[in-house]
A = this chain, B = another copy of it.
Amino acid sequence: MAKELSQRQQQIVEFISHYMDEEGIPPTVRDIVRGCGLSSTSVADYNLRILEREGQLRRRPDISRGIEMPGWGRGVTRVPLLGAIAAGAPIPVPDTDTWQSAPLETVEVPAEMVGRAQGVYALRVKGTSMIDALIDDGDVVLLTLTRTVNNGEMAAVWLKSEKEATLKRFYQEKRRIRLQPANSALSPMWVSPQNVEVQGKVVAVLRRVG
């Protein structure tokens, strides 16, 4: 069943990967012919059939550039990088207006990290106020747009009277809300429910080292 690939077939697989890396779209059959120095489209077709049978790729019949390499392009989403969040600075709120109008800076994100979360956006963290939650200065956090969070979850909140935004752990207490910085050097703050507006909760963290 799992035969070894001939040299031609390896060459073709490699070419297709290369082409997709370079061009961003799959090649046509004739692109393969040219790229691999084949003499006829039927040779390409012949080998593509085999490669499909061997599970190296899939072909969508009668569709131009219908070759699919397993796990290519799929499962990747772009989320808007709305800006930076620092204690004291306002977040650029994701209005439904601005949502699809302006061409914003975006971050590419593995879909696995987003899951089914809706309305995901990204913020770059400034400062070390979340250091105990293992979030460092310069990290990028992914948030999902929501108005409600559960106790202990990390959320971006807007404090109306102070006119500032922070990233904190959220705890609903009897009459008020405790916002706990994930940094043992900082003390928690208590605010009234009327004063807070949840802007989203953290679903993932991305960090580049070095």
Please give the count of copies of this chain that the complex contains. Answer: 2
Q: Which of B64, B74, B77, B134 contacts A24 (CB 8 A)?
A: B74
CB distance from A80 to the nearest CB of B (A): 11
> Which residues of chain B are near A207, meaning CB under 8 Å?
134, 204-207
User: A residues 22-41 with Cβ under 8 Å of B?
Assistant: 24-26, 28
Q: Which of B25, B74, B136, B206 contacts A204 (CB 8 A)?
A: B206
Check A108–B107 contact: CB distance below 8 A: no
| Of A42-50, A82-90, A109-117, A192-200, the one with at least 4 CB within 8 A of chain B | A109-117
- A118 part of interface (Cβ distance < 8 Å): no
Chain B residue, CB-CB nearest to A68: B24
User: A residues 57-90 with Cβ under 8 Å of B?
Assistant: 64-66, 68, 70-78
CB distance from A159 to the nearest CB of B (A): 22
CB distance from A121 to the nearest CB of B (A): 15
Q: Which residues of A contact B (CB under 8 A)?
A: 10, 14, 21, 24-26, 28, 55-56, 64-66, 68, 70-78, 100, 103, 106-113, 131, 134-136, 153-154, 201-210
**Which 7 pairs across A and B sit closest by C-beta, in order of nearness?**
A108-B110, A205-B207, A134-B134, A24-B73, A64-B64, A76-B76, A73-B73
Further pairs besides A110-B206, A134-B135: 16, Cβ < 8 Å: A10-B100, A24-B68, A25-B73, A64-B64, A64-B65, A65-B65, A71-B108, A76-B76, A108-B110, A113-B206, A131-B134, A201-B210, A202-B209, A204-B207, A205-B209, A206-B206
